[in-house]
Amino acid sequence: MFAVLVVDDDVRVARINAAYVEKVPGFEVTARAHSAAEALELLSAHPVDLILLDHYLPDENGLDLVRHLRRRGDLTDVIMVTAARDLATVQAAMRLGALQYLVKPFTFGALSSRLEAYGSLRHTLETGGEAEQAEVDRIFGTLASAGTPNALPKGHSPTTAELVRQVLRSADGPLSAQQIADRAGISRQTAQRYLKLLDRTGRVTLALRYGETGRPEHRYTWRPSDHPPGRPPSDHPPGRPPSDHPPGRPADRSDRTDGT
């Protein structure tokens, strides 16, 4: 469970942001602060994993707060959540090590996707060891692409991506590509395209279910941010090796139902 401090000068906004955070599995808000001084006092008494930080505070701005933290050796992760959109502030946030920068107003989906990406990143880093270049690229790209429609590969629709995501998150158990397609109101080929993308970014777990005959069925489960990366074992019969064969490749043309 990741502990979060929400810092915003507006009491109502802080309460809303905290409620958003509490809706994301694996995250809990341990405190809310409405000034930089209050935030520093809370962090001294109760360290957290992540700070959701507004820039406009009554005593000093959010970036000054981050500077105070870094000077005293506090490396708590920070995601900026602010109406400040001038590039100088954005650049300063980057240089101070903010992991993400979310401009107000925003939706729950925008915040939740960033929190989920943060959770995935933390679990990846906590495994330790060494990383090949591909893994390094994935780590650096995790937060950068979270919730960003333009980060989707060409030919993918943000609307359809969100549909598939919601179907998986609301499911009671693993679903096949056909089941996901039926619930999202899209074709099976379109569902497979988006499932492949989610699998590549670590947002779903994939298992194989073998029937009496024929190819194994791929079944997908949404992986919440507080679940360590890794796929569950395939539910194949004893003595039968799992298949590494990927789901059927979609047709080259985009299905019209995905809106692209």
pLDDT at 114: 87
Alpha-carbon distance 128 to 132, whole Å? 13
Average pLDDT over residues 82-101: 88
Comparing 204 with 51, which gets the higher pLDDT?
51
State residue 182's pLDDT score: 92
Which one of 43-52, 80-89, 143-152, 163-172 scores highest in mean pLDDT?
A: 43-52
Give the mean pLDDT of the chain. Answer: 79
The number of angstroms, rounded, from the C-alpha of 116 to the middle of its chain's C-alpha atoms is 3
**Residue 208 near residue 180, CB atoms below 8 Å:** no
pTM of the model: 0.56
Q: Alpha-carbon distance 138 to 124, whole Å?
A: 10
Convert the pLDDT of each residue in 136-187 to its tens digit.
Answer: 766 666 555 565 544 567 677 777 887 888 889 888 889 999 999 999 889 9
Average pLDDT for residues 110-139, to the nearest whole number? 76
Mean pLDDT on 61-78: 93
| Four-point Cα dihedral 70, 72, 123, 52, nearest 10 | -60
pLDDT-derived band at 222 (thresholds 50, 70, 90) equals confident
Torsional sign, CA 125, 126, 130, 132: negative
